[in-house]
Amino acid sequence: MPDSQTDQIINLMFEAKKLGHDVPKHRFSYSPLHLRVLHFISNNHPTVMKDIADLFGVTPPSATSLIEGMVKSGLIARSAVRNDRRIVQLKLTKKGQILLKNGSQFFKKKIRAALADLTSVERATLIRIIEKLYNKFNL
């Protein structure tokens, strides 16, 4: 593959990560990063701090800082594992579940609108390509 195509794909992937960064602050008082954390915790039981650090490629203290703010905001609750109190599991609070639901609905509408001009075959192809890339990066 020519370098120009590789560069174009890399640029598009970085731009795609910005999806949702244009959400008006009055709409949600939380960032797309918060929604990503909530989505991850919701889909990965049990979740511990190391999982969050690994997800974002940061140190555990950096992940702890992010999670601490979300705990203070009432989005996430922490609980120690009964047989090893050093391990802290994370779970969504009711407030976190509501924010995740509302945020997910908002982003689904955005994605539907963005993909509306694609045919069903093009959407299916896009899904297959994204899945292939995901599988390559997550080996």
Rounded mean pLDDT, 41-48: 93
**Residue reference for tokens 């511990």:** 48
Predicted local distance difference test score (pLDDT) of residue 26? 45
How far apart CA 42 and CA 137 sit, in angstroms, is: 22
Beta bridge pairs of residue 81: 84
Rounded mean pLDDT, 97-123: 91
Rounded mean pLDDT, 14-25: 64
Reported confidence tier of residue 45, pLDDT bands at 50, 70, 90: confident
Predicted local distance difference test score (pLDDT) of residue 28? 58
